Each structure stands twice: as C-alpha cells, then as structure tokens.
Structure 1
Amino acid sequence: MKILITDNVHQLLIDNLEKSGFEITYLPEITWDEVFDIIDDYCAIVINTKTKMNKKMLDKAKNLKVIVRLGSGLDIIDLDYAHKKNIIVERTPEGNRNAVAEHSMGLLLSLLNNIVTSNIEVRNFQWNREKNRGLELEGKTIGLIGFGNTGTSFAKKLKCFDLNILVYDKYKQRFQEEFRYVSETGMNRLFEECDILSLHIPLTKETFHLVNEEFINKFKKNIYLINTSRGKIIDTKDLIKGLESGKIKGAALDVLENEKPWTYDEEEKMNYQKLFSMENVIVTPHIAGWTLESKEKIAKFTFEKIMKYCKL
C-alpha cells in the first residue's frame, strides 16, 4: 500500500510507516502539479497547506482512501466532494495545540507589556520606561471564540493568571468539568465585557471576515485582539480602521489574509505596510504551531490515524 507525503515531517512518521509495511514516497518539495501527476498511484496522502485537495485533484486520485492534514486547518480540502467520493479526511490538531496555546500566551504578554517595541527601542539606545508601561492580566476579561483543541489549550494556560475567561463556541455547549473556571456564554456578553479577544476557529464560509468593522464596533470597550487561527477571519482593512480609531488598542497576529508577500498587489502592499508600521501590532509568520515538539507529536498522531484506516 503506497502513501505519499508531500510536506516536511518528522522522521518518526516515515520510520513507523515503513516498519508497518507501507511503501512511502517522501517528497516534501513537491509542487501541486507534480502531486496531480502521480496522485492516482496512492491510497493515502499526507498534506500541509501547499497541497490543496480540490475537486480536480480528488477526481484524479482514483485510488485514494485517506487524506491526513498535518495540523488542523481543513480549508484546503473540498470536504463535501471528498465525502461524496468516500475519502476519509483526518487532521492532527492534537499535535500542535499546546504549541499554539503557548505562542498565543507569548503574543498576549508581549502585546500588553510592550516587549517587542521596547526591545527595538533599547537596541536603538532609547530608554523609554514610562512610554512602555504595561498592563497586567489580573482582573481583566478575555473572550475566546472557539473552544476546540487550541481554545481549550489556551484556556488552560490562562487559568493561573487570575482573569475572567469568557468562551463562545457556536457548536459546543456544556463544557467538561475540568473547565469549570471558564464561563460559557454568548457573543453579546463578549461584546459587553471583553478587554481582550482571542480567535480559535477554523476558516469557513461562516467565519470568513467575521471580524469586520461592524463586529469590531459592537465591543463596548476598546479591546486587544489576538489571532492564531486563520488570517481571512479578519478583514485586514477593517482591522486597520479599528487600530487607527483606537477601537482596537493592539493586535497580535500569527496569520494574515495573504501570507505570500511576493504576491501582494499595490493595495495589499499599502495595507500591510500601514499595518506593520504600527507599534501596537505584533506579527509572526504563521509559526504558532511550529515547534520541534509539535513536529514530532504531529508525526505520532498522523501515524495513528493512517493505521486506523489503512489496513495491509
């Protein structure tokens, strides 16, 4: 049984699959067109963001039984069409949820304590203590939208900071007993009480540009915004408006609407230049789930999910 791995993975995955008798093709630099040329030879494929499994690819994949996504986002897969073709789709959010939660925590603390801006200033021989006076988390109210793998992991990190944790998840109610320290609520309470908002939701038709001008203006307080989910959940132009007006006091973003700077048109380039020039904005290049430990854990869970469905 042949398995195609199209992205960089921990050697643990390759070793375990080969020991289990699978024939592995490991091509981490392969392009979409090159995958298309050979996909019909494989019963399973392991993918990351560069390999989009659209209708054209799925039609070519005559023998495909299983798709495993490294990480969590399924917006790169035509799920309805895969289901029609009886192709099983799995993902491995268990592997990087802790990494995303820790990165979210780092972004939040850096944003509230002016760590990034003050670091740059000191390196430029500027010693601005009062300008960089920070904020404490204690007593603040944070709202989490989404309470799946990363949302629950982030809540666990927040628990020891003695702040109020509000959670809204449209598709999940009656949280487990271990999360009794969070308050399950609706969006209206988030709009009324939040000092900080953190996004932990997938990109779908429903969540595309969820955070727009109308959404931002519903918050009673001016808020800090954290996004480690998907860039297109936020309308970049409306985010900039919110930052300029002060409605958003600061933003920490691990994801952007367009994460390929070499493809920016003039309008995008102008918008991102404006965004990146703001001192109250922190940006990282989609690395929240990108740790040495998460790479190994994702390999472990990917192996388990392939073994669940692929029998020799």
Structure 2
Amino acid sequence: MPKVLISDKMSPKAAEVFRNRGIEVDEKPGLSPEELKAIIGEYDGLAVRSATKPNEDILSAADNMKVIGRAGIGVDNIDMNAASARGIVVMNTPFGNSITTAEHAIALMFAVARQLPEADASTQAGKWEKSRFMGVEVTGKTLGLIGAGNIGSIVASRALGLRMKVIAYDPFLTEERAQELGIRKGTLDEVLAQADFITLHTPLTDQTRNILSRGNLEKTKKGVRIVNCARGGLIDEAALKDLLESGHVAGAALDVFAEEPAKENPLFGTPGFVATPHLGASTTEAQVNVAIQVAEQMSDYLLSGAVTNALNTPSVSAEDAPKLKPYMVLAEKLGLLAGQLIEEGLSKVTVEAEGALSELNLKPITSAVLAGLLRPMSDSVNMVNAPVLARDRGIDIAEVRHEREGDYHTLLRLTVETSKGARSIAGTLFGENNPRLVELFGIGMEAELSGQMLYVENADKPGFIGAVGSTLGKADINIGTFNLGRRGGGGEAIMLVSVDGEISEPLLWDICRLEGVQDVKALRF
C-alpha cells in the first residue's frame, strides 16, 4: 500500500480521497525541516501547499519518494532540480484556484482604481473626505496582461466584460489564441507603454524575476495602476515605492511579496498602495478544490501510473496509462539493450513509432527509452530524471511518427548515434502486451528480453552454435532460449541466449576465445 504524507494544512477532503483510494495517509502539518527530513524516507508521496519547502537536503533522505503534489499553482517552494535528479514527479493543481485568483486580481484592480481601502479607513474614522478620493473608471481603459495562461485568460475575459481593452505579453501566446480570447498580443514594451492597468500572471523563473524592474517600471504610462496576484519577486519593490511616491505610478496592489510572510516591507504605508496577505487562492471553494485535485492526481500516479499536471515529466492520462504501459516496458527494454551494447559516447537518440504506436503520446515512450538507455550509467535513473541526464550529457533527442504499417501492426525503433556511426534496434508487442525484440543492428531476430542473457557477435561458421552451447554446459549454465539472426550466409551473425545462471567474467573470456567471435557481453534485464 502506498503511503502519503500531508505536511501542510489542507482541507480534510484530501486525506479522505487518499483513504478512499486505499492509500495510507498521515497528516502532520507544521513539521520543522529537521523533523520532515527524519521521516520523509517512509513515504511514497508528499502533499504540500506553500509552507513546506522540500529542498535538496530534505529530498536527499526521500529514498522511497515517487511524487510531490502541490495543492496550488506555484512550486517555487519545491527544489525542482533536486526532485528531478532523484526521479520524483512534481505536479501542481493549476486549475483548482484559477477563478479565485483571477477574481482577486479584478478585486484589487477596483481597489486601486477607486482607492477603496483608504476611503474605508477614512470614512470609518468619521472624516467623510469625498473630495480626497477621486477615482477612475475601468471602462474603456487598457488592461495589460503579463502572462496570458490559465489565470491571465480568465482575467482577460472578466476585463472584456467590463468593456476594457486588453493587450497581453506572453512568449507562449499565439496570434490564434489571442484572437480566440478577443485580446491583442504585444511585446513587453508595448504593454508597458499602452496599459492603464497592468496585472501579472506568470510564474517566478529566472526569465521572469524582476520583470517589472526599475527600468521597465519607468517605461510605463504615467498614472498606471499595477496589480500582482501571481508570485513575489516579479516586481522591484523598492523601485515601485519610489514611483508611487513620485506619482508616476498612481496605484499598486500586491497580494504577494518577495519575502513572505511580509511582516515588514518598504511599500507599507506608501500612498496609493494596497496589500493583502497572499489571499489569491484563499476562498473556501478553492481550498477544497485544490486539496481534492492534488489527492486525486497523486493517487492516480501511485496506483496506475497516470501523470496529470506534472512539471518535470510528460503527462499521461488515466485513460492512456494502461494503453501506454506495455509500450513503455518495451521501450525501456530496448533502451536497456542498447545501453549495454553501446560503449561509445552517445550523441543522438531517435525514437520512431509505426502503426498503432504512432497514434499514442510518444513523450512517455521516449522517457522510458532514455531510462533504459542510461541505466547502465546509473542505477537511480528513471523516466523522470532520464531526460534531464540526457540533456546534461548533450544527447540530442528526436521523435518520429510513421503512419505506415509494415510487417508488424505496431513497431518501436530506437536508433543511437555514436562516434562509430548509427545502430538501430526495433521491437513490437505480441498479443498486445508482450514486448519482443524483432530487429537488432539491422538483423532480423525475435527474442524476449528478460533475466540473464548472453550476447555474441560472430562470423557465421558451421559448428559455432555447438561450441557456445558446449562452453556454457562446461560452466554448468543452463540455456533457456537460443535466439539467432544473421546478415546473409557466411556473414555476420548474432545470438542472444537466455540463461538460468550468472555469467561470470571467466566464462565470458572462454566464449571470447572461440574462433569467429567478434564481441561478447553479459546482459541483464
């Protein structure tokens, strides 16, 4: 039974989902880093919000960890590199609190447009200062979005309903998607120059950190109003304070800060500034939604291998997981075969799919190929960290689909390129779920890849098979299957022999000394 730890305060619905799915769960919010590190090795999954910070040190003790689920969007509290290196899937819940966060951004936009917090404080103090609080309408104004993903697009739809014009900067926004949303796509400089209101809806990355730097803030239209309900660190807070005091920025509302909890901040008390304590996702509906969603996603992965909203590995739907599973087994076996046979440095890996396989999601297949291919280099490699390891080693990865159907109804071909050239291996499924090798280095050969196997390359000469069999017999090694292939009579031949015992180094040397042997290796699957 998988075991999951919920280490942050979360709706009890999450634990209920885990238990209903047959997963053991412990709820222990408020653990110190030292306490978390001491127990994390007991768990297969970790469900967090923003308080828990699983860093490299903590994850170094996560020997059984398979998945970390973030009940929310931002994952900057999770060390993604450390998780990926250990083969841990990291997933978030990008849709559970989208509406709530978008609504909060709109609420803060109105708050700075009409100076609502200051007007409320003044009125409740008995001042009745009508002339002091002269606001602006949002109708007819231009809203500039920095980030037009899920939340940004919801904000855009609400703004259009308020009869605003919307221009968006997002490197991933296509012209077609912009037209579908009814907004204009622009450069960052265009958004800064044209927007009356700017709202941010982007994650915090090396590319987006301080995207509203002092220089960019100075490019904005005089009188602009700025709202950030995304992540702290997107805005130069000291520069924002200066521009608020100078009047260049008419108002700003932040729900997130570079350092949280923000008990002190230079922006506090600045005229025109509105602050809320990271409330973007804080509605009853949102907290229940993300808790249920993260528990369902983690349960699906731990129980069936389905991957949803993962940030460091390809997603696999619950519907596709059973279809992909036998292909992923085949892919890993072919990769492992290649990894044990290829000794030269890899420069490129090409994964080709024919027939039925070409209609499926190839990303998980490629990850499985790489996991097998790199396993001889590291026992800890898996589908999550294999693409990272391949990229770090400068290995180019290509995927090719062929709609044609050849001799087999489905075929997976793996081609590896090294300094000595390209060599390919192909496999298929027998009976829909039995992986089988059907071609090795251009030579047709049917073999099941399992257990201990002996690989021999040799010149095709009479008596050679008997010589190998005799050598194995003298070593008291029983043969399970004998799989043969050759490139024409009297040319190159290959044999794959499954054996019941361990193939020792002395036995390999005995086979290597047989006449006609060109290469010999012990394989393990």
Is 1:295 the equivalent of 2:296?
no
- Structure 1 residues 70-219: aligned runs within 5 Å: 70-174=71-175, 176=177, 179-219=180-220
**Higher relative contact order by CA 8 Å / sep ≥ 6: 1 or 2?**
1
Aligned residue number for residue 266 of structure 1: none
Q: Any runs of at least 4 consecutive aligned residues in structure 1 with deviations exceeding 4 A, and if so which?
A: none
Distance 1:37 1:108 in 2: 45
1:20 and 2:21 aligned: yes
In the alignment, is the contact (CA less than 8 A) between 2:153 and 2:181 conserved in 1?
Answer: no
The residue that corresponds to 2:436 in the other structure is none
Q: Is the 8 A contact 1:17 1:303 kept in 2?
A: yes
Deviates more, 1:153-162 or 1:280-289: 153-162
Percent identity for Structure 1 against Structure 2: 30
Per-residue deviation, 1:204: 1.3
Q: For residue 97 of structure 2, give the secondary structure of its aligned residue in structure 1.
A: helix
* SS of alignment partner, residue 21 of structure 1: coil
Q: Give 1:279 shift.
A: 3.0
- In our comparison, the structure showing a higher alpha carbon Rg is 2
Residues 53 and 77, structure 1, Cα contact 8 Å, conserved in 2 = yes
1:55 aligns with 2:47: no
* Structure 1: distance between partners of 2:222 and 2:129: 27
Higher strand share goes to which structure? Answer: 2
Is 2:99–2:151's contact at 8 Å kept on the other side of the alignment? yes
* Matched AA of 2:203: P
Q: Return the letter of the residue paired with 1:36.
A: K
For 2:273, the equivalent position in structure 1 comes to: 281
Normalising by the residue count of structure 1, what TM-score does the alignment of the two structures yield? 0.92
- Ranges in structure 2 where 5+ consecutive residues have no aligned partner: 305-525
Answer whether contact 2:71 2:293 (CA < 8 A) is retained.
no
How many angstroms apart in 2 are the aligned matches of 1:191 and 1:92?
A: 30
| Distance in 2 between residues matched to 1:23 and 1:234, nearest whole Å | 42
Residue 142 of structure 1 and its aligned partner are, at CA, apart by 0.8
Q: Is the 1:102–1:154 Cα contact (8 Å) retained in structure 2?
A: yes
Cα distance in structure 2, aligned partners of 1:151 and 1:199: 8
Contact 1:194–1:221, Cα closer than 8 Å, also in 2: no
SS in 2 for 1:238: helix
Per-residue deviation, 1:173: 2.2
String of CA shifts for 1:231-257, please: whole Å, max 9, x gaps: 211121111111112221110010112
Q: CA deviation at 1:46?
A: 0.4
Partner amino acid, structure 1, of 2:183: V
Q: Give me the whole-angstrom Cα distance separating, in 1, the residues matched to 2:262 and 2:166.
A: 35
- Structure 1: gaps of 5 or more residues: 263-268
Q: Deviations over 1:164-212 (max 9, x none)?
A: 1111112332454784321122112212211111111111122222212
